[in-house]
Amino acid sequence: MKRILGILAAVAVAALAVSCNCAGDYGYKIKGNQIVYNTPARPAGQQSMLGFAAEPIEHVRVGLVGLGDRGGGAVHRFPYLKDASLVALCDLYPERVEAAQKTLESHGAPRAQYEFSGPEGYKQLCELEDLDLVYLAVPWQLHTPIAVYAMEHGKHVAIEVPAATSIKECWDLVNTSERTRKHCMMLENCCYDFFELTCLNMAQQGLFGEIVHVEGSYCHNLEPYWDNYQGDWRMTYNKDHHGDVYPTHGIGPVCQDLNIHRGDKMDVLVSMDTDAFAGQDKADERYGKGVVKKYANGDNTSTLIRTRKGKTILIEHRVVTPQPYSRMYQIQGTKGYANKYPNEGLALGGAELKDVAYDNLDAEEFMSDAERDALMQAYKYPFVEEIEDLARKVGGHGGMDFIMDYRLIYCLHHGLPLDQDVYDAAEWSSLVELTEVSINHGSMPVVMPDFTRGEWDKVDGISFAMAE
């Protein structure tokens, strides 16, 4: 009841306000009962990065910054990519650099030529002349500053998730990429999982009909991992922030299904969280009772987004309560339904299925596992078919991490547009701030900025560029 009254009070205050805040070009105004984010004009000298392709790179020379859990995994994968080498390594701690060198040696790969350490070692790495790509696996707040520095020093960048933690940072990535004409890709690996990729192909072939609603989430009890994050960066961020602080695994794949900024646009979001019951207990246990006065991040955060073309997206975040891992991943269309967790299932009813041995076209039940598997095989993208065995062998979340790295290097090597562009990175990461601001205003609707600056319907759907 108290919370409902709070929401009503916030809405009433907002209705009276004509404007507020905040950070100029990157901020928002409250208009009526909505928070409306500004979309600043494109500065002179910048061009859109939609469809951008750089010159082909014969052999991609990669510098990896951040050699903790995630960066360490990348070191294992890179030796399997024939058109790329890790030539520079950097971490806060020199011993992590040496450990990464040993990993390279264990795969029979050459040691990286350059080594850097310390809080600003990344600058020397970005300044190297003989480097093409900076690959970042550092704590969240370092993503954008290092990526901007790298692009300004002539390097393409690939950034772990989320690429940015604020709207200002999202625009910094977009503006720097547009100004320097350097790729800025967020490493959203969940877009490359087998079920999601094949469902995307099915969506493009019309098997779900018109997709009307999608769902995604990050439901992962991080209990076994909190101690692993260097300098406690992750718990520190969570205890200080409301909102969906880790939205991209949930939002990325479903945005691709909806052709976001390739025909549709995320328009308005509303976010609501629970109190931090388990979060506060966790903080009390970790730092001592009463040390953290009020743990901010709700045990569950739900966000609803409506698109310009009238579709809806539900995104959830929960990382402190016990639960089976789930990224939800659901597609509801006029002709069919897909669901990934806890069991991969398809229920399809369209005439497109006439060639498939599947006779339950009312779609009231999931098709059998055998029918599903046959369909998944039939609709696998050819590039997945080609790389699947190696990806499963190399691993990284079952192979999706390798497919992501493979596609990144393939496109750079052949001079093709990347699968995910800087606008994906900005749109998906923008939820970090937008959900927090909605919650801080009693779950007020937020009109999202347009990082493409009006060009969200210029491209017709996502495509995976292939060389001749």
Ligand X SMILES: NC(=O)c1ccc[n+]([C@@H]2O[C@H](COP(=O)([O-])OP(=O)(O)OC[C@H]3O[C@@H](n4cnc5c(N)ncnc54)[C@H](O)[C@@H]3O)[C@@H](O)[C@H]2O)c1
- Residues that bind ligand X in the complex, under the rule CB under 6 A: 65-71, 90-93, 96, 119, 121-122, 137-140, 142, 160-161, 187, 189, 228-230
Helices marked H in 34-86:
69-77
Q: With H, G, I as helix, E, B as strand and everything else as coil, classify residue 394.
A: helix
Closer residue to ligand X in complex, CB, 139/442: 139
Q: Could you tell me the smallest distance in angstroms from the CB atom of residue 401 to ligand X?
A: 7
Closer residue to ligand X in complex, CB, 220/335: 220
Closer residue to ligand X in complex, CB, 204/230: 230
Q: Could you tell me the smallest distance in angstroms from the CB atom of residue 200 to ligand X?
A: 18
Helices marked H in 345-399:
369-378, 382-394
Closer residue to ligand X in complex, CB, 117/452: 117
For 196, the enclosing helix (H) or strand (E) is: helix 194-204
Contacts of 330 (CB under 8 A, 6+ apart): 213, 214, 215, 216, 337, 338, 339, 340
Q: Could you tell me the smallest distance in angstroms from the CB atom of residue 54 to ligand X?
A: 24
Tell me the residue nearest to ligand X as measured from the CB: 68
Residue 458 near residue 28 (C-beta atoms within 8 A): no
Q: Could you tell me the smallest distance in angstroms from the CB atom of residue 439 to ligand X?
A: 21
- In 50-66, which positions are buried (b, 16+ CB within 10 angstroms) versus exposed (e)? bebebeebeebbbbbbb
Closer residue to ligand X in complex, CB, 121/417: 121
The neighbouring-strand residues paired with 61 are 85
Closer residue to ligand X in complex, CB, 65/86: 65
Rounded to whole angstroms, how far apart are CA atoms 197 and 34? 35
370: buried, middle or exposed (CB in 10 Å: 19+, 13-18, 0-12)? exposed
Closer residue to ligand X in complex, CB, 121/445: 121
Residue 374 near residue 356 (C-beta atoms within 8 A): yes
Q: Could you tell me the smallest distance in angstroms from the CB atom of residue 370 to ligand X?
A: 31
Q: Which amino acid is at 468?
A: E
Closer residue to ligand X in complex, CB, 144/452: 144
How many CA atoms lie less than 13 Å away from 386 in the CB half-sphere? 8
Q: Could you tell me the smallest distance in angstroms from the CB atom of residue 49 to ligand X?
A: 22
Q: Could you tell me the smallest distance in angstroms from the CB atom of residue 164 to ligand X?
A: 11
Rounded to whole angstroms, how far apart are CA atoms 188 and 223? 23
Q: Could you tell me the smallest distance in angstroms from the CB atom of residue 69 to ligand X?
A: 4
